[in-house]
Amino acid sequence: MSAFRTRTIILIPFILSCWAASAAQNTAQHSAITIHVGKTGLFSGFSHEHTVVAPITSGKIDAKALAVQITVLSKQLKVTDTDTSAKDLAEVQETMLGPKVLDSDKYPEIRFQSSRVERAGDGYRVSGTLSLHGTSRELTFNVTGTPDYYHGKTKFKQTDFGIHPVSVGGGTVKVKDELELDFDVFPADLAAPASR
């Protein structure tokens, strides 16, 4: 076996592992909000709860000025359930984006603008205005992380924003009014040119 071929065989796994690591890093560092949608009602045990991922389209985190601004495009929200058929998934997606829920044609953007950010223990306590479905409400939540990555959780009620939770079967199965949100924000990702 030639020296060139030997070197090539040795280099291929190394190049592939570097490419895989780079790809994993690029896919992992997309700022997004994950929304957990619960179910309630008499027959809720027979229905699926939903997970929705909302990529953060643009925004800015100013660590010095302690200010946060985030924008999500309504039409980019995606239902990511793994235990739902493709047909049901498409129906849930259509309902979510349609006039009964987000009405994404009429309200294309979801925005959060901080009004106060203060240090709280190892993290921050963030207060600000969430604008959703044509309504703005104050929201306060805790955030942890480093200057390169922030994570937080919060909850809010759909009815506070004029959204009536979907119900089927005469109310025997319905979406919970309160939604739980996890968000992962990479400031460098927000600063990069949008490629979404």
79's CB contacts (< 8 A; 6+ apart) are 50, 51, 52, 89, 92, 93, 96
2 pLDDT band (50/70/90 cuts)? low
Which pLDDT value is given to residue 12? 46
Dump pLDDT digits (tens) for 77-88. 999 988 888 898
Amino acid at 134: G
Mean per-residue pLDDT over the chain, rounded = 81
Residue 134 in this model has a pLDDT that exceeds 60: yes
* Residue 2 burial (CB count, 10 A): 7
Q: Is the pLDDT of residue 103 over 70?
A: yes
pLDDT reading at 71 higher than 70: yes
Name residue 138's beta-bridge partners. 129
**pLDDT of 116 over the 70 cut:** yes
CA distances, 19 to each of 7, 12, 16, 183, 196 (Å): 18, 11, 5, 27, 21
pLDDT at residue 181 tops 90: yes
- Among 7, 8, 51, 9, residue whose Cα is nearest residue 32: 51
Amino acid, single-letter form, for residue 38: G
- Model confidence, pTM: 0.77
